[in-house]
Structure 1
Amino acid sequence: METSNKKRWLAGGLALIVFLLSLFTGESKVKDFNEANVYEEARQRFMGAEDEVLYGSNPNQRIMVLDVDGMIAKDDANDFLAEKLDEVLDDATISAVILHVNSPGGSVYASERIAKKVEKIQEKNIPVYSVMQEVAASGGYYISAPCDKIYASNETFTGSIGVIMQSYSLEGLFEEHGIKEQNVTTGKMKDAGTFGRDMNKEEKEYLQALVDSAFGRFVKVVADGRDMSESEVRKLADGRIYDGSQAVENGLVDEIGDLDDAVADISEKYELTDPVVFEKNEFASAFAKYLPYFKSNTDNPKSDLQILKELMESEKNKPMYLYGGYYE
């Protein structure tokens, strides 16, 4: 384990070098660094996705623990998670998988991608458990719902079953700066939800239908995974969150417990003898999440026009399985 930690620190140090280069030498140096494949080669060698053994002695019966931490998005972390879940299908030593979830949710696509991987593993008669940490809401619950068993803490925030499509109207700000949006489209709904003006009633109804469609799929995933009727799920699915004890009472969570409890339950139920419990994680991906934050805090205060530009370039106007009270 000491060697593994050393490699992770090396990977983290390398990521920090890339970050400092981006701050003080401009993007061109970082581009040269990446084109030389130095960062990628070091990431693969020093960090890779090595097994970090938590405990256990039987290498023929292993339980893989995968962290789902932070926003669920179509990014490197999501690719890594999908890749590791695919590897389970080809590894005869893996007897079970535990998703260690600490996420407010996120992308509809990325959440569904992970849920589908879980179902494929279960088709091979390999159990998948979810162990919720501080928060496993919306998309964090979506990927947990198909699991064979769900554990949570009494203080876990979970649920938030629903869909949100975040949008802004910058019509007033446009007017203040003398900006007028002029879109040329092939149909009246082509620019529905644009930032430059308020949505009309017809546009809201159109986008609401998209949100409702995604919501229907969310309800079905929960109903199938929790052995509930869709009407039962809809009673719980007004977007509100529940703490762990409430979620046990309403059927969204099976038991109050942690990772060790889940391992003990799997070992007993599936007759495993001191299985090796190991974790797969990608240190550089987790470290990289913080780089935009560090960089943003070195910038000068933003003007109204800079804020306007960032809002227009942000990824909005798409359905999200995201806890509405979460702010990154």
Structure 2
Amino acid sequence: MKRLITIALIVLVIASVIAAFALGPGSREGLAPREGNMVGVINLEGVIAGGSGGTFLSSGTDHIVRQLHEAAQDPSIKALVIRINSPGGSAAASQEIYEEVLKVKESGKKVVVSMGDVAASGGYWVASAADKIVANPATITGSIGVIMEFQNVEGLYDKLGLKVNVIKSAEHKDIGSPTRPMTEEERAIFQGMVDDIYNQFIDVVAKGRNMDREQVKELADGRIFTGRQAKELGLVDELGNFYEALKIAAELAGIEGEPVIKEYGRKTPLDILLSGASALFESRNIILPWGIDPAGLLRAPEMK
């Protein structure tokens, strides 16, 4: 049995290595790279999270920011297309990616966002940094807003006969605790945080889309839009798919003819396998349903 498992693992590793060479980053097959005449591509997929992201279902800022930094310094590309397929996620993580997109633009490169199935909330925060936004007519976007959620399991604990003893250094150290009701003062603290991040979001969209702040606020009640509705409202520039976004990026950068594509951070099957397996063993990344992680830290404000 052990021998069969060993053989299976060896076959899996070999297959992953072969796939890595076959599917790894590089230029479009059959076309030789031309210095300064390429369009870079970065994929932002899944929930936007801080750090490494943990699994293939999320995009961690460490990986995405590293790719953006590489693109900004890469002399072989004139433009960058960011393909977004994300419902949002951590507000701070979205903000971090947004700031790095601005640095790509500061390096002299044009940035175009291509929206996939969904590019909402934190995904739209990132998109608003682009020179142009291209969405499919049926893309789900918008959801401009911020949310924090807390559950109260006090009644459940009472039924189970469980009691929690809390020893804290100051009044608000256990703020957001699921084992007691939230006080009005605590609610005001959280509302102040949400309002502050919300106003930052409004400012980002107003600046990126060249819109009046009050105009943005009228759209920023958390509602979602189709890509076609978003274009009519000024939240999207063009309707089209990924290849239309590539064409627009090439035109903005002054690239003649069909551009050569350079993809950053493409994951091999082995990368996906290892990232998923590592997440199973990293308990510090597991978020419990009531918004508190095992280390007792509050869950960050989300944009979804």
TM more than 0.5: yes
**Amino acid in structure 1 at the alignment position of 2:28:** V
**Contact 1:158 1:242 (8 Å CA) reproduced:** yes
Say whether 1:66 aligns with 2:42: yes
Match of 2:267 among 257, 271, 282: 282
Count the aligned residue pairs: 275
* CA displacement at 1:219 relative to structure 2: 0.9
Code of the residue aligned with 2:293 in structure 1: it is E
Q: Does 2:94 align with 1:119? A: no
CA–CA separation in structure 2 for the residues paired with 1:320 and 1:242: 19
Cα deviations by residue, 1:168-225 (Å, 9 ceiling, x for unpaired): 1111111111122232223322212111112122211111101111111111111110
In 2, distance between residues paired with 1:266 and 1:239? 30
Q: 1:309 to 1:69 in 2, by over 3 A?
A: closer
- 2:26 is aligned, of 26, 30, 51, to 51
- Equivalent positions of 1:155-166 (< 5 A) are 155-166=138-149
Identity over aligned residues, as a percent? 33
Q: Which runs of 4+ in 1 moved over 4 A?
A: 14-17, 45-49, 54-58, 284-293, 308-312
SS in 1 for 2:123: helix
What is the aligned partner in structure 2 of residue 254 from structure 1? Answer: 237
Unaligned runs of 5+ in 1: 1-9, 18-41, 296-307, 324-328
Displacement after TM superposition at 1:123 (Å): 1.0
- AA aligned to 2:301 is P
TM-score w.r.t. the length of structure 2 is 0.80
User: SS of the residue aligned with 1:53?
Assistant: coil
Matched letter for residue 65 of structure 1: V
Q: Counterpart of 1:320?
A: 302
Unaligned 5+ runs, structure 2: 1-8, 53-59, 281-286
Amino acid at match of 1:318: A
Q: Mark the CA change 1:153 to 1:292 in structure 2 (over 3 Å): closer, same or farther.
A: farther
Structure 1 position 110, deviation (Å): 1.4
Q: Distance in 2 between matches of 1:285 and 1:310?
A: 28
CA spacing shift, 1:86–1:206, aligned 2, 3 Å = same
- What residue number does 1:222 align with? 205
**Shift in Å at residue 106 of structure 1?**
0.7
RMSD: 3.2
8 Å contact from structure 2 (residues 112, 248) kept in 1: no
Cα deviation 1:29-51 (Å, max 9, x = unaligned):
xxxxxxxxxxxxx8xx8699632
1:62 is displaced (CA, Å) by 0.9
> In the aligned structure 1, how far is the partner of 2:93 from the partner of 2:187?
25
Measure, in 2, the Cα distance between the counterparts of 1:168 and 1:147: 37
Decide which of 93, 112, 116 is 1:129's aligned counterpart.
112
